């Protein structure tokens, strides 16, 4: 009876947009106590929009767009699009360099320009006005990137990526099933917490470098937790394979899809709830 029940389970789940790669996943699902989520593109829509530009707007946007034209980060696309909409020509740059999980830098007119998180501000001056403005924007759930020239921050760009309309309901359903929910993100703590509050996530682990995501999953497992990780990006692949159950969004990158034991066809977190329910039911039938 075992293989038949498994096939029925997976055929039914496929109809519901949940692809289960193998039978072992079913067993792991019945032991889960924790679900960890990537933020951008998983909990949020993943299409960030520029909401505020602080400083000499034309100069800040020209500089930032000049650098971000060479980046593939979702924040970069938002900045380039905003410059286009406002008809601001991007600055010419040379020697572009991406600093993973932190931002980008390049030469502009013999000056070193950068755009990115506060992790780039170690030897950089920022006025107390700009810092206060950055804090305020972050508490509004906006991601702030700092735009700098040489050793000084010259402006800020605030970018907002709103939660998917389905995220709140999905998180609430998972919590009803006794699961602890955690957000794991490279974004700033304040922004992450504001978004977590909007969707009801229990705990936030923020400021995580892409290479550290899998380590945080391991640390939770070392505490004795059985962990599912839900993600979509290239940088989510190691966390997806480290987790007891890796759940990849089908809209995500190929490498994420390859690394997940469960793949969701739709880009909707309620499918995570469905995936866990179906796996449990199927497992109970075959065990």
The minimum distance between CB 116 and ligand ADP, in angstroms, equals 4
Does residue 161 bind Mg ion (CB under 5 A)?
A: no
Within 8 A by CB and 6+ apart from 2, the residues are 286
Confirm if 234 and 253 have CB atoms less than 8 A apart: yes
Is 202 one of the annotated active-site residues of the chain? no
Long-range contacts of 274-278 (CB under 8 A, 24+ apart): 274/13, 274/16, 274/17, 274/18, 275/13, 275/18, 275/20, 275/29, 275/247, 276/29, 276/32, 276/174, 276/177, 276/228, 278/9, 278/12, 278/13, 278/16, 278/18, 278/20
Site for ligand ADP in 174-213 (CB under 6 A): 185-187, 210
Does residue 233 bind Mg ion (CB under 5 A)?
A: yes
Out of 9, 55, 116, 261, point to the residue binding ligand ADP (CB under 6 A).
Answer: 116
Does residue 101 bind ligand ADP (CB under 6 A)?
A: yes
The minimum distance between CB 42 and ligand ADP, in angstroms, equals 9
CB-nearer residue toward Mg ion: 233 or 261: 233
Among Mg ion, ligand ADP, none, residue 116 binds (CB under 5-8 Å by kind): ligand ADP
In the shown chain, the binding pattern of residues 51 to 90 toward ligand ADP, with x for contact by CB under 6 A and - for none, equals -----------------x--x-x-xx--------------
Across the beta sheet with 34-38, the strand order is 18-20, 262-264, 245-249, 227-231, 34-38, 180-184, 203-205
Confirm if 76 and 68 have CB atoms less than 8 A apart: yes
Among ligand ADP, Mg ion, none, residue 90 binds (CB under 5-8 Å by kind): none
Among Mg ion, ligand ADP, none, residue 143 binds (CB under 5-8 Å by kind): ligand ADP
Site for ligand ADP in 232-261 (CB under 6 A): 233
Does residue 268 bind ligand ADP (CB under 6 A)?
A: no
Residue of 31, 38, 161, 236 marked active site: 38
Within 8 A by CB and 6+ apart from 269, the residues are 37, 42, 43, 164, 166, 167, 170, 171, 230
Q: Which residues belong to the active site?
A: 38
Binding site for ligand ADP (CB under 6 A): 39-40, 68, 71, 73, 75-76, 101-104, 115-117, 143, 145, 185-187, 210, 233
């Amino acid at each position: 009876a075992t293989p038949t029940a498994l096939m029925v389970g997976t055929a039914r789940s496929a109809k519901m947009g949940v692809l289960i790669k193998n039978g072992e996943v079913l067993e792991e699902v019945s032991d889960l106590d924790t679900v960890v989520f990537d933020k951008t593109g998983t909990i949020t829509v993943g299409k960030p929009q520029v909401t505020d530009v602080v400083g000499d707007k034309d100069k800040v946007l020209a500089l930032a767009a000049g650098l971000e034209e060479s980046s593939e980060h979702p924040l970069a696309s938002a900045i380039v699009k905003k410059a286009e909409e406002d008809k601001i020509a991007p600055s010419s740059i040379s020697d572009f360099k991406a600093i993973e999980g932190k931002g980008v830098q390049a030469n502009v007119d013999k000056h070193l320009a950068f755009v990115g998180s506060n992790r780039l501000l170690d030897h950089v001056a920022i006025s107390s006005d700009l810092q206060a403005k950055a804090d305020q924007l972050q508490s509004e759930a906006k991601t702030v990137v700092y735009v700098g020239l040489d050793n000084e921050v010259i402006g800020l760009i605030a970018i907002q990526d709103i939660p998917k309309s389905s995220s709140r309901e999905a998180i609430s359903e998972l919590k009803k099933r006794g699961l602890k929910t955690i957000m794991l993100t490279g974004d700033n703590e304040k922004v992450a917490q504001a978004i977590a509050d909007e969707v009801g996530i229990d705990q936030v682990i923020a400021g995580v470098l892409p290479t550290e995501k899998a380590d945080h999953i391991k640390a939770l497992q070392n505490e004795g937790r059985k962990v599912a990780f839900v993600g979509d990006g290239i940088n989510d692949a190691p966390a997806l394979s480290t987790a007891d159950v890796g759940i990849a969004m089908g809209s995500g990158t190929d490498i994420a899809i390859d690394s997940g034991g469960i793949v969701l066809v739709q880009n909707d977190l309620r499918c995570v709830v469905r995936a866990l329910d179906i796996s449990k039911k199927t497992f109970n039938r075959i065990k």
